[in-house]
Amino acid sequence: MKSFFKKKTNETNVPKWASFFDSNEYSLFIEEVENYFKNLNIKYKLAGGELFAEKNKYGFSNLGLVNLAQVCKQEEPKFYKEVVKEHFSSLIKATQFDKEFSKIADNFEEIKKYIGVRLYHHEYATSVGRENTIGKDFAGDIYEMAVFDFPHSVVNIKPEQATVWNKTVDELFKVGIENIKLNYLFDITKEDFGEFSIWFVQGDHFFTPNIVFDLENRQELIGNKGSLIGLPHRHAAIIYPIENLEVLKAINGLIPIIYRLCKKGPGSLSDNLFWYKDKTFTHLPYEAENEKLLFRPPPEFVELLNELSK
């Protein structure tokens, strides 16, 4: 277990937010980001995993770099320039789209096709201000949010926009969940992990964790006693159907996997483990202490384990 939780030793010039890079990778990443903005003649400064651009015709302002860095980490360094260019070019296209969208934004029938629902870590909701979102706590450290799913970006829907449409939160979430279900596919495979098997859900889009909204229609993913669920990042979900005490082996095996995938990203979501049963998600807390895993389940899950042991 300790290899999953022990922090990676890194060069001192690599900041904590980019600790998944080695020194050379980080230097190249920053170089490509700086070159991109220099080529556009945009003045900027870098601090704490963010780029702060001065006023410019492209609409750039404060830009987070963590997800972009995680995407680059998945590629060979020779492709960093291409990834950086594609990322920021998409942001420019998104700004241009926003200008056109604003002309029809008040017409619900025209814009409802863009409504979606996405899961975020609660820190994201806090950073944009929960009062500026239409959302609710999902489970553990995950926040469920109504968004616009645009061709080049995903943007949170603000409460005042729902007021103009005269739509309730529940109505928006119903439309958003159904849109994502219709617009995106999941690659679901059964993977062998030695002493147990899991269902691994993947997607090259931002909405793979939305599989949680469709579990009741995918009975192979649900055991007689529910399922263990991991939602490490925007491109993956891990599901283990609970049938017997093998679940104890699954818990010990899944937590390090979820933890590692969450830290790796891109689009890190949660390193939490959840129990799904009867349409309810329950957080199953754990701690890494002295290089050991300490599982601290709530009483209802302990009751389940006791029942399985009989």
- For 136, the token pair is 């609710």
Is 208 domain-assigned?
Answer: yes
pLDDT in tens, 276-296: 999 999 999 998 777 778 899
Whether residue 121 is found in the same domain as residue 79: no
The residue from 101, 122, 138 where one domain ends is 101
Q: Note the pLDDT of residue 13.
A: 85
Whether residue 154 is found in the same domain as residue 251: no
Is 195 domain-assigned?
Answer: yes
Query: Given phi > 0 = left and psi -120 to 50 = alpha, else beta, which region is 182?
Result: alpha
Whether residue 30 is found in the same domain as residue 82: yes
Buried b / exposed e along 206-235 (16+ C-beta atoms within 10 A): bbbbbbbbebeeeeebbbebbbbbbbbbbb
Q: Note the pLDDT of residue 99.
A: 87
Whether residue 213 is found in the same domain as residue 301: yes
Is 223 domain-assigned?
Answer: yes
Question: Which ranges of the chain have pLDDT less than 70?
Answer: 1-12
- For 116, the token pair is 């979606």
Is 15 domain-assigned?
Answer: yes
Instruction: Provide the residue range defining the domain that includes 236.
Output: 187-309
Whether residue 271 is found in the same domain as residue 228: yes
Q: Note the pLDDT of residue 292.
A: 79
Q: Note the pLDDT of residue 54.
A: 94
Whether residue 39 is found in the same domain as residue 124: no
Q: Note the pLDDT of residue 32.
A: 96
Sheet holding 50-53, edge to edge: 44-47, 50-53, 62-64
The residue from 50, 66, 101 where one domain ends is 101
Whether residue 303 is found in the same domain as residue 229: yes
How many domains does the chain contain in total? 3
The residue from 148, 183, 218 where one domain ends is 183
Q: Note the pLDDT of residue 94.
A: 87
